[in-house]
Amino acid sequence: MSREGKIPKLFSGSIDELTQPAKIEKDQKRKDLKKVKKQKTLFVSQDMNLKLIELYAHEGRRQSIIVEDAVNLYYYLKKALGERKFGELMSVVQREDEEMLRQYLEKLTL
């Protein structure tokens, strides 16, 4: 048995198993999330691709790290600001006006 010596648990067919994630200790789960890489195809617009290339040139890092940073920023901003304020922020960001975004962020921090 070359696969860590464990026999996989069979699916019992219960609804709970389908709707709830497997129970793993939180610390172990966090460690595993940082180590295990999932490869997915990320479809982005040409405009977004140009922005990624520009960021990559300035940051000098892999695009995957830039995307991970963006996802973390999005996730924690949404948790910190709440649904309404986050929606307002995203509407300002979608206008792609840097000056308006600066003004909004200054207003938000006051």
pLDDT digits (tens, 9 = 90+) for 49-91: 888 888 888 888 787 788 889 999 999 999 999 999 999 999 9
Residue 36 vs residue 47, higher pLDDT: 47
Question: Number of helices (H) and strands (E), helices first, in the chain?
Answer: 5, 0
Residue 95 vs residue 63, higher pLDDT: 95
What's the average model confidence in pLDDT over 36-60? 79
Check whether 5 has a pLDDT greater than 80: no
Amino acid (1-letter code) at residue 103: Q
What's the average model confidence in pLDDT over 11-23? 63
Q: Outline where DSSP puts E strands in the chain.
A: none
What's the average model confidence in pLDDT over 6-31? 64
> CA 89 to CA 79: how far, in whole Å?
13
Q: How far are the Cα atoms of 32, 35, 39, 71, 73 from residue 64, in angstroms, in the given order?
A: 18, 14, 10, 10, 14
- For the entire predicted model, the pTM comes to 0.57
> CA 3 to CA 84: how far, in whole Å?
47
